[in-house]
Amino acid sequence: MNAPAPFSGSGDHTDAASLPFANAFATLPPAFFTRLQPTPLPHPYLVGVSADAAALIGLDPAVADSDAFIDIFTGNAIAQQSKPLAAVYSGHQFGVWAGQLGDGRAILLGDLPARDGSRLELQLKGAGLTPYSRMGDGRAVLRSSIREFLCSEAMAALGIPTTRALCVTGSDAQVRRETVETAAVATRMSPSFIRFGSFEHWYYNKRHDELKLLADNVIANFYPELLGEDNPYRSLLAEVTRRTAHLMAQWQAVGFMHGVMNTDNMSILGLTLDYGPFGFMEAFDARHICNHTDQQGRYSYQMQPRIGQWNCFALGQALLPLIGSVEDTEAALASYDADFAAKNDALLHAKLGLTTRQPDDDKLFEAMFAILQAGHVDFTLFFRRLGDLRVESNAGDEPLRDLFIERAAFDAWAQQYRARLRHENSADAARKLAMDATNPKYVLRNYLAQVAIDKAQQKDFSEIAKLQHILRRPFDEQPEHDKYADLPPDWAGHLEVSCSS
């Protein structure tokens, strides 16, 4: 799968200060946001830029090292047509109503025309205090900004719906977390950053006029095809439910764990949003919790599909006054299980290189997850190496078989799998090609991000660029980068990812 070529047409913007910003979000009434200026950071520098993200808005990445670019995307200068603002929202955090939250450290610069004819909003994350900062300092640390930057772009390259990340800038300004770290600003891009919690905000404040305005705005801008429906709000809920179910299946299929699936982190467009203590599954454990502050495991790997549904119900509750009846709201939510199951089933078939459906396929999948669980087998390596299995010979099985301590368990499952492949006359070469296009070789393992972060904290940003380079083609062999596909080193077993960011 090839990433798009960098934009090099005559439409390239070379001056960040004169980007043609508009702000569709600001057509909503003032209660939805506060206009404000970002707070400058001292002596900012460029940490990383995504040429692919820049291409989406026709911005020439070659100018990313200029003072003008760095100043605009740190919040030290404002583009001529940008009128920055922070938006209000609320949400359920860890299943509990948390009341008002809002852009506590994110500042929306406005939206820009995208190369594909759509529009993309640009948002600075970590650009200073806002009226919604509550106890926070309005800042983000370099560590978490690099993680969000790398993962947003890596997810996009995996073909998973996500917000994008244009760049990260850093400053030596100190930010206090568990330890003292340095500040950074990540610039995110998305058609919209509106969350489930944006709707809950008006519902729980009993302001149904604003609730309706928000829903109408979202439908008009992002779901115009629903305008003609007899109950567009019900259709909106049904469509968001469908997208969320599909997104959950896509996360599960690559072993992505979000870590903080609060309703304020759920995109109304069904995008992966707000990268915090996320992780990619390594040694398989369905109960794995990537966020070490989530002691109950509410957001563990195996819980994600259920929580996605829980969040849709929370959205449904908020939309109930617009939809009009509990029956219609329930009807809009009803297809979640079937939507998830269908997508999950399709993705699992693809991951195993199966082109037909057979009655016992679920048993094959269950047995596979059972041996992965029992052996704590590396998720990414397992599926990638599975593509090398040959139907009529086990001569090439070793690299795959070596991932298991219990070789007999693997052999038993492989026998089942081979029989299944024979059943559909699967051809080795074609199947491997298809599987390699769906089972990534390279994912953003925690330790890879950590190595890049450690270097960046010493002002060496080369590893970030290297990871970007590798992760933008996650399905390609790139044999020169083989070691980036390896099992994590021993020291990585002790890495803990906290919510602090």
**From the list 23, 82, 265, 272, which residue makes contact with Mg ion (rule: CB under 5 A)?**
265
Residue 102 or 305: the one with the smaller Cβ distance to Mg ion is: 102
Residue 265 or 439: the one with the smaller Cβ distance to Mg ion is: 265
493 touches, from ligand AMP, Mg ion, none (C-beta below 5 to 8 Å by class): none
Q: Which stretch binds ligand AMP (CB under 6 A): 116-124, 131-139, 327-335, 360-368?
A: 131-139
Partnered with residue 170 across adjacent β-strands are 45, 184
Q: What angle do CA 13, 17, 20 make, to 5 degrees?
A: 60
Of 71, 103, 264, 294, the catalytic one is 264
| 123 scored as a contact of Mg ion (CB under 5 A) | no
330 touches, from Mg ion, ligand AMP, none (C-beta below 5 to 8 Å by class): none
Residue 344 or 501: the one with the smaller Cβ distance to ligand AMP is: 501
Q: Which stretch binds ligand AMP (CB under 6 A): 23-31, 95-103, 296-304, 413-421?
A: 95-103
Sign for the pseudo-dihedral over CA of 139, 493, 151, 374: negative
Residue 304 or 501: the one with the smaller Cβ distance to ligand AMP is: 501
At closest approach, how far in Å is the CB of 133 from ligand AMP? 4
**From the list 53, 55, 260, 471, which residue makes contact with ligand AMP (rule: CB under 6 A)?**
260
> What does the alpha-carbon distance between residue 378 and residue 489 come to, in Å, rounded to a whole number?
12
> What does the alpha-carbon distance between residue 61 and residue 246 come to, in Å, rounded to a whole number?
32
Residue 103 tokens read as 């852009």
| Residue 352 φ then ψ, to 5° | -95, 5
Helix runs in 223-294, H state only: 232-254
Residue 380 or 501: the one with the smaller Cβ distance to Mg ion is: 501
Residue 457 or 498: the one with the smaller Cβ distance to ligand AMP is: 498
Give how far Cα 310 sits from Cα of 6, 41, 253, Å. 39, 39, 20
Maximal C-alpha separation, the chain: 68
139 touches, from ligand AMP, Mg ion, none (C-beta below 5 to 8 Å by class): ligand AMP
48 touches, from ligand AMP, Mg ion, none (C-beta below 5 to 8 Å by class): none
Q: Are the C-beta atoms of residues 200 and 92 closer than 8 Å to each other? A: yes
Residue 351 burial (CB < 10 Å; 0-12/13-18/19+)?
buried
Residue with tokens 């690099």: 146
Residues whose CB is less than 8 angstroms from the CB of residue 81 and which lie 6 or more positions away in sequence, other chains included: 18, 19, 20, 21, 22, 110
| 261 scored as a contact of ligand AMP (CB under 6 A) | no
Residue 371 tokens read as 């041996």
Residue 104 or 159: the one with the smaller Cβ distance to ligand AMP is: 104
Residue 21 or 299: the one with the smaller Cβ distance to ligand AMP is: 299
446 touches, from Mg ion, ligand AMP, none (C-beta below 5 to 8 Å by class): none
**From the list 133, 293, 416, 457, which residue makes contact with ligand AMP (rule: CB under 6 A)?**
133
Q: Which stretch binds ligand AMP (CB under 6 A): 30-38, 101-109, 212-220, 320-328?
A: 101-109
| 189 scored as a contact of ligand AMP (CB under 6 A) | no
| Residue 120 φ then ψ, to 5° | -125, 130
11 touches, from Mg ion, ligand AMP, none (C-beta below 5 to 8 Å by class): none
Residues whose CB is less than 8 angstroms from the CB of residue 430 and which lie 6 or more positions away in sequence, other chains included: none
**From the list 52, 60, 71, 103, which residue makes contact with ligand AMP (rule: CB under 6 A)?**
103
Residues whose CB is less than 8 angstroms from the CB of residue 207 and which lie 6 or more positions away in sequence, other chains included: 31
What binding mask, one character per residue, do residues 267-306 give for ligand AMP by CB under 6 A, x or -? -------x-x------------------------------
| 138 scored as a contact of ligand AMP (CB under 6 A) | yes
| 274 scored as a contact of Mg ion (CB under 5 A) | yes
> What does the alpha-carbon distance between residue 125 and residue 152 come to, in Å, rounded to a whole number?
13
- Count the alpha carbons within 13 Å of 318 in the hemisphere toward its beta carbon: 33
Residue with tokens 């809002």: 102
At closest approach, how far in Å is the CB of 297 from ligand AMP? 17
Q: Annotated catalytic, 264?
A: yes
With CA atoms as reference, report the closest residue to 106 among 75, 77, 76. 75
Determine if residue 107 is left, alpha or beta; phi over 0 gives left, psi from -120 to 50 gives alpha, anything else beta.
beta
Q: By the criterion CB under 5 A, which residues form the site for Mg ion?
A: 265, 274
Residues labelled catalytic? 264
Q: By the criterion CB under 6 A, which residues form the site for ligand AMP?
A: 101-105, 133, 136-139, 260, 265, 274, 276, 501
